[in-house]
Structure 1
Amino acid sequence: MILCPMPRMILIVDDDPHIRQLLVFALDKAGLETIEASDGEAALALASERAPDLVVLDINMPRMDGLEVCRRLRAESPVPILFLSSRDDEIDRVLGIELGADDYVVKPFSPREVVARVMAILRRTAAHAPSVETGRDLAQGRLRLDLDGWRALWDRTDVPLTVTEFQILRLLVSMPAKVFSRDAIIDRLHGPGFAITDRTIDSHVRNLRAKFAREGGGDVIETRAGIGYRLGACAGA
């Protein structure tokens, strides 16, 4: 198992103590620090107090479910979120991604799979952490990506993105003339062979479009039927 190069803090949120214990053991073994919450209110309090690097969040919890926790976290922070769900249907998965989650795992799950997905998200986050260099930007027309600050701007207005959304947009802006298939986007984000569906990529793209449309960005990503996605022409306007 690949160990994380430096301790990162993971908040595990699940009302099942057995699942929390299982994940704590697996993530600790991978060199990650963990904190736990058994309900949504405790999770929000811990997230505010401890500022975790990633949240593993169960959808089906009493009183405040994971979807509401995700909404409230997203209102305050871009912290990466990995959903756990016992409902194996595409609607729940797509809804989770559209709310701002970065990935999901369906119960029953393998702890090794959870660790692998957590590590993949953390690697993407680390790739965009602020560095000692400054001024590294990617820009096309009115769209600018601040790579050091992990910020997306449209006409100088910040557009808050999740880790995965930023990664997808960065890929498209870096090669604006290229059309990327869904498989190519998955390979760039996660590496070849990573189990994620085309529908998940479509959900991230819809979310990106909606966020930029609210700022007057129009269709920032263009769909090429039967092929994939590329940067929209309006980004260069």
Structure 2
Amino acid sequence: MSKLLLIEDDHTLSDLLAEYLRAQGCEVSQAFDGEQGLELATSEPFDVVLLDVMLPVLDGFEVLKKLRATHLTPVIMLTAKGDDFDRIFGLELGADDYLPKPFNHRELLARIHAIGRRIDYVKQTSQQAQLLSISHVTLNESARRVCVDGHELTLTGTEFAVLHQLMSNVGKVVGKDALSQHVLGRRLAPFDRSIDVHVSNLRKKIAKYSKTNCIQTIRGSGYVFLDQ
């Protein structure tokens, strides 16, 4: 069973979503403004936070920014349909995924389950205590830690999963669609830049401690982690 926090100021929509998710076996807490949502998100453990962008008091971006300063709880942003800026900006701030409104309730549930499968995968592989050390980057699955030249990075679960896939296939091109299916649990839609933004975030974090660009873009194909 997933423990969810739904931060949505539309009471009718929030109640409908909560009722549906509870019927699917989820435990759902609700917040109706950004300040209340942030307080709950930082005071209780949740498996996933469902975060609307347009919120009173604190908007969804401010909530995400403050949450990411202390917590790595997976976040799915609920954005306006067709608003690419909101989607990309949310991912840049550390959201794990997004879903444009209006959306099908079953698709939201599928996104939640995809995050759950990714977390289960990390837990299973961590039992093998696998250590990947390539170039200046060391990834420790058992401790779920990534270090660059001895400096530990703070990664979201999605960023960790993307980096793990790339490092596990060092020297090989990993397609964007393959990354999306493994990490996000879905195929990439046309013009979907989710994976691009997660990789961009990874590059920025690695670049703080290393001048080597170990993640190379293969135009039209995907990405490759280089052993330099």
Is TM > 0.5 for Structure 1 vs Structure 2? yes
2:110 matched to which residue of 1? 116
1:140 matched to which residue of 2? 134
1:76 matched to which residue of 2? 70
- Aligned pairs for 1:210-229 within 5 A: 210-216=204-210, 218-229=212-223
- Aligned pairs for 1:146-161 within 5 A: 146-161=140-155
Indicate conservation of the 8 Å contact 2:132/2:139, yes or no: yes
SS class of match (2:123): coil
Q: Deviations over 1:164-183 (max 9, x none)?
A: 11111101100101111212
1:181 and 2:161 correspond: no
SS class of match (2:69): helix
Closer, same or farther: CA 68–132 of 1 in aligned 2, 3 Å: closer
1:10 and 2:4 correspond: yes
Indicate conservation of the 8 Å contact 1:128/1:149, yes or no: no
Distance in 2 between the 1:158 and 1:222 partners?
A: 22
| Unaligned residue ranges in structure 1 (runs of 5+) | 1-6
Q: 1:107 aligns with which of 87, 101, 110?
A: 101
Percentage of identical aligned residues: 37
| Unaligned residue ranges in structure 2 (runs of 5+) | none
Closer, same or farther: CA 133–188 of 1 in aligned 2, 3 Å: closer
Distance in 1 between the 2:48 and 2:122 partners?
A: 15
Q: 2:61 aligns with which of 67, 79, 83?
A: 67
Q: Mean Cα displacement is larger for which, 124-133 or 179-188?
A: 124-133
1:23 and 2:17 correspond: yes
**Structure 2 letter corresponding to 1:52:** F
Distance in 2 between the 1:209 and 1:9 partners?
A: 31
Q: Mean Cα displacement is larger for which, 69-78 or 148-157?
A: 148-157
* Shift in Å, 1:193: 4.3
* Shift in Å, 1:126: 2.2
Q: 1:208 aligns with which of 202, 219, 226?
A: 202
* Shift in Å, 1:138: 1.8
Distance in 2 between the 1:174 and 1:65 partners?
A: 37
RMSD: 2.0
SS class of match (1:126): helix
SS class of match (2:174): coil
SS class of match (1:24): helix
Q: Deviations over 1:82-108 (max 9, x none)?
A: 000125221211111111001111111
Distance in 2 between the 1:65 and 1:161 partners?
A: 23
Distance in 1 between the 2:37 and 2:212 partners?
A: 35
1:54 and 2:48 correspond: yes
Please report the TM-score for the alignment, with normalisation by the length of structure 1: 0.88
* Shift in Å, 1:192: 6.0
Closer, same or farther: CA 163–137 of 1 in aligned 2, 3 Å: same
Please report the TM-score for the alignment, with normalisation by the length of structure 2: 0.92
Distance in 2 between the 1:166 and 1:25 partners?
A: 32
Alignment size in residue pairs: 228
